[in-house]
Amino acid sequence: MITEPDYSLQGLRVLIAEDEALTLRQLTRAVYKAGMEVYSYVLDGITGLNRALEGRPDILLLDVRMPYLSGTEVARRVFEHYNPCIVFVTAFEQDITTHESEQIRNCQVVTKPVTSDILLPRIAAAWYEHIKPY
């Protein structure tokens, strides 16, 4: 019997890197609502990079414009070590769509302000693309 792969978000570990308190709360609520686990939340890019490399969470939710290191730079450096599912959260979508890295351009983008109704389907789509068989 062939079984379908599990595309559920339930139990996935998520790192949230966001420097705006309101958006951080919204992202955290949405992650818990979907049954995911917040591995860590951070307020800047350097801490985000370090936590991602230490814990290797399944999904990274990265603000694009953060203190010390941008979300796109965090993603670029993380991709050198492992391949997580990345969703960018930004008010500046053009930062992703015009990025020089195809790997970063192919990540899902959610524009601020963020709601669960928008975020969770984007995370699910990104996760599906990340794990689907070719």
Report which residue type is found at 94. Answer: Q
Specify whether the CB–CB gap between 28 and 41 falls below 8 A.
yes
In a domain, 4, yes or no: no
Nearest to 79 by CA among 110, 102, 108: 102
Task: Give the CATH number for residue 49.
Answer: 3.40.50.2300
Please state the φ and ψ torsions of residue 124, each to the nearest 5 degrees: -60, -45
In a domain, 119, yes or no: yes
pLDDT of residue 3: 46
Whole-number Å distance between alpha carbons of 119 and 125: 10
Pull the structure tokens for residue 77.
């450096």
Per the structure, how many domains does the chain have? 1
Q: Is the pTM of this model over 0.85?
A: yes
Whole-number Å distance between alpha carbons of 2 and 51: 37
pLDDT tens digit string along 63-92? 999 999 999 999 999 999 999 999 999 887
The parent domain of residue 86 ranges over 13-131
